[in-house]
Every structure is written in C-alpha cells, then in structure tokens.
Amino acid sequence: MNLWIILIVCWYGILCEVGCRSVHRYKQAPQNLFDEKNKEHWQLQAQWTLRSKVLAPLNKKVAKNVILFLGDGMSITTLAATRAYLGQQRGLNGEELKLSFEIFPYTGLAKTYCVDNNVADSACSGTAYLTGVKANSGTVGLTAAVKRGDCEGQIEGRHSVTGLMDWAQRAVKSTGLVTTTRVTHATPAAAYAHSADRRWEADTDLPSKGPRCDDIATQLVRGRIGSKIDVVLGGGRHNFYPKNEIDPEGYSGYRSDGVNLAREWLIKKKSQGRTPKYLYNRNDLLNLKVNEYDSLLGLFSPDHMPYHLEADGDDPTLTEMTRKAIEMLSKNKNGFFLFVEGGRIDTAHHETKARKALDETAEFAKAVEAAVRMVDAEETLIVVTSDHSHTMTYSGYSKRGTDILGFTNKLNASDSLPYTTLSYANGPGYKPHEKFLRHNLMLDDINHLNFTYPSLVPIVRETHGGEDVAVYATGPWSHLFTGNYEQNYLPHAIAYAACIGNGLTSCQSL
C-alpha cells in the first residue's frame, strides 16, 4: 500500500474513533470529518496528535539495529514541497500529507556549519553526523586540524576519526552502506575513509606532486573499516576499474594504477573466509539468494546512479537496495548498522532542477517506509536527517492545490510577469534581464524534466544553505533526538542507544 493511502486510512480510522466518542459527548456527529471547513476536523486532528504524544511510552531498550537515513540536501523547504508534489500526483491538495518519516514520534533540529565555513558541504557534515567530530569543509574523517588538500596531515594518522561504522564493527554487528551516488562520494566516504580532500575518490584524482595519499576507493577495499563493511550498494564503478579495462557493462575504468579494486574486493573477502558476491545490475540484485552470501558489493553505474525520473529499469531503486541490504544484515544475531543515503536530492538542487529534487525526496521516503516495514520497531532505532540545506524557496500566496512545480496563481510580480512557487537564491537558473524586466517564464517549458528553476544570482552550481536541518527518530531511545543541537551530537546519541563506541551508553549506569 502506498504511503499516502496508509496515511489517509490511518487518519480515517482516527477520526472514526474520536468521532464516535464525540457522538456521545455532543449527541450529534459531525457531518464530514474530512471537511477542512468543519471545526471538528481540526479539533479532532489536534486532539489525536496530543493524545498520541501524551500516551507514547519511552522505549529505553538497547537498539540492536540502527538505520541512519540521510537525505543529502533535504532541506525543510524540500520536505514541504515534496508533500505537495506527492499529493498532487494523486489528485489531492498535498500540503496535508506527511512523508513516511514525518510520522515518527520525535523530531529535532541539527546545526550544520563546518569548523571553517558557516555553510556546510557534504564532507564536513558527513564527518560530523557519522563520527561525532566537526571538521573542515572538503575533508572526510579527519579533525579540523587538517586543512583541505593536506595530504601529509592525512598520512600522519593522528587526526583521523572513526565513528558509527567502526563502533558497530567492534561490537561484532554487521554493517552496510547504500547510496544513489558514487559509493566513494563525500557522504558515504565519511563512514569509512580518511581523506584530506573529498575529490580524491580514485588515484587519478590525487595531486601529481608531493606525498601520495590513499584514495577513497582504495580505502573502501583495503582500509581497516572499509574492508569490513558487509554490504556496499551504489554507483561509482569507474573508480574501481583501471583505465585499460572495460567494466561488465562496457564502460572504461578511471584508475591510473592498473588495479581492479572490484576484483581485489572479491579476493580479499574470500581470504577472510567470507562468501562474497559482486553485482552490477538490478536483475542480479533482486534475484540474489541472501542465505548463500555474507558479503555484497553492488556497483550499478560508472558514475552516480541515474535519477529516478530518468532510470530505464536496469538500475535498482533506493528502496530495492535498502530492502536487500536489510535482508543481508539481519542475519547477524548481534544486529546491524546500516547507513542509507538519498544522494541525488542534492545533485538535482545544485542544478536547480526542482522537479527531480522533489521526486528523489519522494523516493527517499519510500525507502524509509520499506525499512520500517521490515524491522522490529521495538529493537531498531531509525534516524532520518539531512546533511545541509539548499537555497530553494517556497513562496507566494497560491491557493491550495496549486501545482507546486508551476506558477503562483495570485497576482504577477510588480513587473507584471509571472513567477514560480519554487525558486533559488543562486544557481544556473538565472537568466539576464531584458530592458530592465525579468525573463518571461511564459516563454519556457517549465514542465520539462530538466527545466532549471529561476535563480536570483548567476552561478554555475547552486550552493548549499546554512540553516538547520530536521532530524526524525523512532525506536529505542529516539526521544534523545528532540531539541536543537550540533550535528555531531547525532552519532553520540545513536551510540548511546545501541551500546557501541567508547562514550556513555545506555548499558552503563550514570
């Protein structure tokens, strides 16, 4: 059953239950509890929310399993717009809907700045929410003592930091990583790598002069943490193949050292006594018999995986990868830690392609919903958050149900030209003014999949935003995630709930 149907059914049941009690109290039931013009609609809705919060028990069990979902660039504005996007696809207004994780009982706000920048990138923020230490922009798995590009600082080692992936492995839990970007991209890299520059994904990316650092792909296969990850699913295959080799789908590799890291991964796992499987297409993933393997590497695209709206069916969806990862990891009696990234929300925003960004957010919500259905809610902590915001705004005074991706339906701007409900503070969607007038958007096909939404400031790639991001949590100790806190607090709270790491845990007495 689809997310929006579930929410409507649940709400209908709530209204019926509370409405029946209203019959006894008021002697007359409301005529239509779904009518927003009916005061009982809002009163009963608010009363149910209140009751659910008052009666919700605190789960203080140890979190056997942890799933951390990260919507890259998933700002609060993106969430609000995606609700409308989903609802309008199904003939509803949309604003009244909730995404799968928005029904989680506990919500907080995380502050995302880097040590050196007021607006975060995915590298420093990834280091914060995966290791518990804030870092400099562009660096992965290193303290702020290392500046971007400082290879010697990376090699030195004493500034390296580890986090949830390492702590879970030390607790003999299974670990997994799922992403729609390259598995060596900044966000997933923060789970296992230490790199002075997020761009050093393959050896070809390293500086030609000076000391040679281990690239991120190499660290995934040979590193102490990366080599122990049980499930890795995503894109970025070319970073694992040498330039003189063609991968299974006919694409050339990118590495300059002549090493085939995909083959090396298989050999290394077998030497550890494991039963590994390497995949590169959706069909093999869906048909995989999880009981026959204990290690899984899936590299489904040479670069980032395609946007959902452009996929041709040869690549698995985020939901499909998440399901398979949970199936694999759930075999461990000690539990697991799984990190799942919806990474193409971010890349779409950078291109100011709001349609793609909202659709990727909807796909992300589906993956969360799938995970919730598969795990035991009493023993699994699920946290959903973002690494940073974007500059997309949601403005105007349009009537309910107005196409979220279209024009506002109120008065035009003071220059008598229309404007879209969604726009960006900066980015490639900027178009020069003509005769002191804005570009007339009526001349554009705003319904096109690759329409770049208007931007105030011209820049090749739209930037991130600096405001706080939302955090949603359910399961053991999920009440720890309320309030406003630094982003690096997240892994400490997760570790407390799961009794992993070297800090305070729920298994210790204060």
* Chain segment 250-266, per-residue pLDDT in tens: 999 999 999 999 999 99
Instruction: Inform me whether the pLDDT recorded for 17 exceeds 60.
Output: no
Q: At the topology level of CATH, where does 65-391+464-498 sit? A: Alkaline Phosphatase, subunit A (3.40.720)
pLDDT band, residue 333 (cuts 50/70/90): very high
Residue 391, pLDDT > 90, answer: yes
Residue 122 appears among annotated catalytic residues: yes
In terms of Cβ atoms closer than 10 Å to its own Cβ (0-12, 13-18, 19+), residue 366 is: buried
Q: Which residues are annotated as a binding site for Zn(2+)?
A: 72, 346, 350, 387-388, 464
CA distances from 332 to 54, 70, 403, 503 (A): 35, 23, 46, 24
Note the pLDDT tens digit of each residue in 467-476.
999 999 999 9
Query: Does residue 1 surpass a pLDDT of 90?
Result: no
Residues 326, 329, 332, 335: is their CA dihedral positive or negative? Answer: negative
**Burial class of residue 290 (count of CB atoms within 10 Å of its CB; 0-12, 13-18, 19+):** middle
Check whether 290 has a pLDDT greater than 70.
yes
Q: Residue 34: its pLDDT value, please?
A: 73
**Residue 52's pLDDT band (cuts 50, 70, 90):** confident
Contact criterion met (CB below 8 Å) for 297 and 277? yes
| Residues of the chain above pLDDT 70, percent | 93
Short-list 451, 478, 461, CA closest to 378? 478
- How far, in whole angstroms, is CA 475 from its chain's centroid? 19
Which residues are annotated binding-site positions? 72, 185, 187, 341, 346, 350, 387-388, 464
Q: What is the mean pLDDT of residues 95-107?
A: 95
pLDDT in the model for residue 26: 33
pTM value? 0.93
510, pLDDT greater than 70:
no
Gap between the Cα atoms of 107 and 150, Å rounded: 37
Catalytically annotated residue among 75, 100, 122, 330: 122
Single out the residue of 172, 222, 213 nearest to residue 192, CA to CA: 222
Q: Is the pLDDT of residue 11 over 90?
A: no
Binding residues for Mg(2+): 72, 185, 187, 341
